[in-house]
Chains A and B, each alone.
Chain A
Amino acid sequence: AQSVAQPEDQVNVAEGNPLTVKCTYSVSGNPYLFWYVQYPNRGLQFLLKYITGDNLVKGSYGFEAEFNKSQTSFHLKKPSALVSDSALYFCAVRDFILTGGGNKLTFGTGTQLKVEL
């Protein structure tokens, strides 16, 4: 079964500093990986995805993620953090649904990012 792991429950970083939120994956075949962000009392918002191509994927709000096949990782990064980036971040991997197509996501446990002044 496909799975992702987020080893950190919380990441604290000062505003203006680079941030990294870690994710490792375990899949059979090629991974389809995603990052979503959740603000309080809101749904999950898509940030970026990796399917094929460049290992560095750029997404919304200045976020990027680096796919590393040898380390089976897909860490989320941002060069300069903002207080408004404080939220819950989820890594996810896509499972194809064989019947009728479509896909489902298997999420990690989430990492709370706290950016302080």
Chain B
Amino acid sequence: EPEVTQTPSHQVTQMGQEVILRCVPISNHLYFYWYRQILGQKVEFLVSFYNNEISEKSEIFDDQFSVERPDGSNFTLKIRSTKLEDSAMYFCASNGNSPLHFGNGTRLTVT
């Protein structure tokens, strides 16, 4: 069964640095999403992406965040200047006419 893949599985960065989290959604899916899960807390929606543009974003998704689909397969989340509170698991998801399929996540640790 096709999967959403995310790299890296774990990223450690210093506060103020830029990070890029990468995702390869399922190939025939049209909608792409980023969610995050702060340790011990619930999964929160960040942003959705369709037809090469953001279709919705949450209040968490401020100017420090951006998403891009640089080619036909990758979908990236960039955090421009990381803060300690950005430490979380970040999940990529995609769907077509189906339930959301999630990747295994990238654990981001900001020190």
Rounded to whole Å, the gap between the CB of B28 and the closest CB of chain A is 14
A-B interface contact total, Cβ < 8 Å: 63
> How many chain B residues touch the partner (CB < 8 A)?
25
CB-contacts of A16-66 with B (<8 A): 34, 36, 41-46, 49
Tell me the interface secondary structure of chain B in the complex. Answer: strand
**Given A102-B50, A105-B100, does the pair A43, B91 have CB atoms closer than 8 Å?**
yes
Taking CB atoms, residues of chain B closer than 8 Å to A102 are 30-31, 33, 48, 50, 55, 95
CB-contacts of A61-117 with B (<8 A): 90, 97, 99-110
- Among B31, B50, B55, B101, which residue has its beta carbon within 8 angstroms of that of A46? B101
How big is chain A's contact interface, by range? 20 to 34
- Among B56, B101, B102, which residue has its beta carbon within 8 angstroms of that of A104? B56
Rounded to whole Å, the gap between the CB of B54 and the closest CB of chain A is 9
Provide a sorted-by-A list of 13 A–B residue pairs whose CB atoms are within 8 angstroms: A43-B6, A43-B104, A44-B43, A44-B102, A102-B30, A102-B48, A102-B50, A102-B55, A104-B33, A104-B45, A109-B42, A110-B42, A110-B43
Q: List chain A positions with a Cβ less than 8 A from chain B.
A: 34, 36, 41-46, 49, 90, 97, 99-110
Q: List chain B positions with a Cβ less than 8 A from chain A.
A: 4, 6, 30-31, 33, 41-45, 48, 50-51, 53, 55-56, 91, 95, 99-105
